[in-house]
Amino acid sequence: MLQSVYSVYDRLRRPLRNHHYLVLPGGRLAYARIPGLAQSLARPILAALDAGAQDDGWFENVELLTARELGRRYPAIAIFALAQPPAERIAAAYETVIASGRPLPTFYLRHGFSAGMTPEAFVARISQIGDLRADNLFRSQCHMLETAGLKPPLVLGTDRLERRWEELAGLVRAATGRTLPPPPPCPAPSDLALQLGQGATGERIRRRYARDLRLYFAGSGPELARAPADQGLASARH
């Protein structure tokens, strides 16, 4: 019965896999949501934009759109997003999907994942699944944030929010007149994330998420910055 419940949930969730953009009230600012830590850290930002709302990150009057819908309805809108370092993100995906012990969602059952597989096997499998088929827990963040015809989003790395926080505050102020609170603290990488960033597994991650690393995390350290230059489009070809 539990497997049936998860399968129904999975079928309901998958059609929304490309609806990343929350257009905030007023239609001048959109938040591009990335599941996981990035979305959690964005909640106090979103709460600050909605006077009187509880700190849960949700509004009564928002639109949830695809990039195409966003471009058609709001061609001049400003967009912001938070992105998480790939090794941290994949470690979190493993803990959610495999280590939690919950029944595997249908997508994972159909794409060669198995309960109890090792973190290294998990990374090897996601490295073979391109972004056009990938679940949003491990789909490249740059693929999720593609905005053809729109102004590129302002993207803040979750490991370095303070570096571009003033830039985000200025964007928010110009679009909404609101003032942001100080940046929320980001949790330290888990032991699993540090483990996955090393050796052959770390190299797999760097190759699979080369574009994410170059676009959002260049210069953050040797384990994140060493993205192979010739692998930038590989993840979108499968």
For 87, the domain range is 2-236
User: pLDDT per residue over 100-153, tens digit each?
Assistant: 999 999 999 999 999 999 999 999 999 999 999 999 999 999 999 987 778 889
Specify the higher pLDDT residue, 41 or 3. 41
E strands along the chain, which residues?
Answer: 21-23, 29-32, 63-65, 78-83, 154-157
Band the pLDDT of 62: cuts 50, 70, 90: confident
Average pLDDT for the chain: 83
Taking Cα atoms as reference points, which of 88, 89, 95 lies closest to residue 118?
A: 95
Domains: count for the chain:
1
Q: What is the pLDDT of residue 16?
A: 63
User: pLDDT per residue over 178-228, tens digit each?
Assistant: 999 999 888 899 999 999 999 999 999 999 999 999 999 986 554 443 333
Taking Cα atoms as reference points, which of 88, 82, 64 lies closest to residue 195?
A: 88
